[in-house]
Amino acid sequence: MDGPGQAEAKVYVALPEKSKEGKYILSWVLNNFPNDSIKIIITHVHIPAQLIPMMGTKFPASQLSPHQVNLYRKEEWEKAEKHLNDYISQCSKARFKAEKLMFVSDDVAHGLVELISLHGMINFVMGAASDRRYSKGMTEVKSNTAKFVMEKADPSCQISFICKGHLVCTREAILPPRNLSQSASMPTETNRQNVFPRNSSFDVSNLRGGMSPGFLPRSPIRPSRLHSDNYSIDFSEGTMRSDTASSIASEDVYSHSDLLSMNRDDDLEVRSLESLGSTREQGTLADVCVKLQAALADAAKYRVQLNEEICKREKAEMDLASVIQKEDETKSALIKEKQEMEFLHKHEIEMIQRQLDLLQEEHKKVQEERDNAVKEEILHKQEIKIVQNRLYLLQEEYNKLQERDNAVKEEVLHKQEINIVQSRLDLLLVEYTKLKEERDKAVEEAEELRGSAGHGSHATFSEISLLELEQATENFSKKHKIGEGGFGSVYKGFLRNTMVAIKMLHPQSLQGKPEFEQEVAVLSTMRHPNLVTLIGICSEKSALIYEYLPNGSLEDRLACQGGTPPLTWQVRTRIIGEICRALLFLHSNPNPIVHGDLKPANILLDGNLVCKLSDFGISRLLMETNSNTLVYRTEYPRGTFAYMDPEFLTSGELTVKSDVYSFGIIILRLLTGNPPINIAADVEDAIETHSLHLIIDESAGEWPFVQAEKLANLGLRCAQMRRRKRPDLESEWKLVEGLMQASSLSVSPSFKSQLDEKSTPSYFMCPISQEVMKNPHVAADGYTYEAEAIKGWLDGGHKTSPMTNLPLPHQELTPNYALRSAIQEWLVKHS
């Protein structure tokens, strides 16, 4: 420790090994001390690891060899020094002189206390608590280490406690600094007289603050500290403490022999005083004798006490010798145990080595066998190749001979075979003509049956030739293709003054023909504003001609393909109602029809974003079973997995509740915009955790929460895994109709109200005249208007759309025959 007179003082800073944890403590020191007269001592207590990693696991240090332990201890030490060098670099950048001081101990708190005592520190800085426990107004230390150091450290040391760069508190020094430069050797006579006066009134209690002489050390050796396994016996204080890291500075004290010498000196002084009394006057001698007798009595008293303390000290020494002996015995037992463990470890290593040798031999044998097998396989392949070449040559020779023999026969029979084949072709052509006539007749009969089995509707499509389709699509040009799937391709064309969509069946499709016939059978007998209108068919190419819907599929609009804006929540609510109305229409047939593949890709949107169900290729007509249940059974369920009824997948039974399940998934998709996989579970979790607002599709606008919650619950009820838990759409229609009305859109009347009341669907009304259209035409903006109204708008000089106010690319009008047919049919029903 530097004395007070030296120019450069030292500040000891206790820091952890990693610089990240001690940066605030060191920063406080660098900011609060001058760099020109202070040297910083980076102090660190290093705790050796008791478990040492070895061969993929950790072993106690006592089970490893000294060499292995020393190597790991060296590596630990070097790593700690490397981390402490980061602190040195930080001090150098701040222009501070810095050194590092490392100390090994089993406990940080005890190690710091011992360091403070050993180095006589007068200015010490350490952490008060972990940085994360810091709070404003913190005035006391929190960690157990800081509390221990505050209580046990040398009182001559001032300690500053820091937390997250703030001074929490300071323990001031209450004693002057100790001088560690004093010699630890035996004091001289002069020094003894300076420390303890040699006279009859000598008071032993002055030693070390009143310590009794019996606990004085026998010799003034270095700090009296003896270590056992668990205790350090400190004779300089006369106490025994369980602190292995305690330390006491050395001092000049008297030995036992010095005290005995002091007693003999006292006797000589007494004799000399008695001889001196014969030469003095009688009165003075009497006074001196009285004082001398009192002094002798005190000396005798102190001698008795001294002898008692000496006995106690000898007893303590005997106890200490017993403890040391026990310690030696324990060490011997540990050494013996260690030797036994090393022997067992060595034996285990030898066993493992023998097993490794055996495994290597086995591996070598297996390798040799594998090499031999590879060689045999190569030879075998070569032999096979040679045989194959020979067979190939023989086969070629045989073929040449066979060709020669056949050439002669073919020349003779060729003309006869041609004549026979020609006659057979003529017969087949006649048979084909008859079969075609019979098939056409059967188709006509089937159409008549379908017409009588429907809702009073009649087929409104016509047979269209392949030539017309080629002209409408410029010979099926790629620029007219608008879609493609497993069934075939979809083209956009202009046919008979009408924009149409042409669905061509793929020639190699195995299931395309039945689906084609099924879709024709359904759409030819069903007519509804929310079902796609079938205009005609081409039997020659198995093509279906529909009305053209300019806004594509609901799937495309949800994905905003082509840069189209997202559907608003009002439009989505209306679409849900329109899908529900179409399903009610299909399911209310005496023999209900199940769509079977209801999904956003099969829901098309017209210019007014009115939805129409399409793709009835796998729809089925339900028949009543013995259990009075309307069901269709199949061994090969088909459809789109994410929207398919789980019970249909497992049992093969298709019912109207299968469409209800698909309808529920579509509701949740329109509400959240999420993919269909696991969407029901996600919405259910959101409702249970009151976080539905977090998964609602914000691109649709600001949903009214009550409406969104009702739609979510409706979708979850429809998407139940068990069929019997799903509701009937007829019972849910009032809820759906109310939600449509609440969305402030034009609401079409319910399925039942259309049969009972004369309400007009909104899409039958002309946007300009607000009257039921008699001759609907589609303008360039994709919207449908009454022909006279839109022509009057265009003739008036308008070049923009009446609905969007955007410029029209052209002024051509296309008749919407499908909508006109639907309007006429509706008018007939309500006339």
Residues forming the annotated binding site for ATP? 503
Between CA 4 and CA 9 the distance in angstroms is: 8
Find, among 94, 106, 114, 92, the residue nearest to 43 by Cα.
114
Give the count of beta carbons closer than 10 Å to the beta carbon of residue 248: 18
Element (H, E) at 41: strand 38-46
Give 772: exposed, middle or buried? Use CB within 10 Å, 0-12, 13-18, 19+.
middle
Detail the DSSP E strand segments found in 105-230. Answer: 123-127, 158-163, 166-171, 226-227
The residue type found at 22 is: G
Between CA 494 and CA 778 the distance in angstroms is: 13
Between CA 805 and CA 793 the distance in angstroms is: 12
- In the 8-state DSSP scheme, what is residue 565? P
Find, among 638, 387, 353, the residue nearest to 514 by Cα.
638
Between CA 753 and CA 775 the distance in angstroms is: 25
The yes-or-no answer on residue 597 being catalytic is yes
Strand 239-241, strand 232-234: pairing:
antiparallel
The 3-state DSSP class for residue 13 equals strand
Out of 266, 597, 645, 781, the active site residue is 597
- In the 8-state DSSP scheme, what is residue 55? T
538 with 466: CB under 8 angstroms? yes
Find, among 552, 568, 562, the residue nearest to 673 by Cα.
568
Question: What number of CA atoms fall less than 13 Å from residue 641's CA on the CB side?
Answer: 3
Strand 97-104, strand 38-46: pairing:
parallel
| Distance from chain centroid for Cα 718 | 32
Beta bridge partners of 102: 44
Find, among 704, 695, 691, the residue nearest to 673 by Cα.
695
Structure tokens at 261: 């010498």
The 3-state DSSP class for residue 680 equals helix
Detail the DSSP E strand segments found in 563-610. Answer: 593-594, 603-605
**Residue that has been written with the tokens 């409706």 in this structure:** 714
Between CA 383 and CA 302 the distance in angstroms is: 118
Residues in contact with 126: Cβ distance below 8 Å, sequence separation at least 6, in sequence order: 13, 14, 25, 112, 145, 146, 149, 159, 160, 161, 162
- In the 8-state DSSP scheme, what is residue 129? S
The residue type found at 701 is: G
Question: What number of CA atoms fall less than 13 Å from residue 419's CA on the CB side?
Answer: 5
Between CA 361 and CA 359 the distance in angstroms is: 5
Active-site residues, by number, are: 597
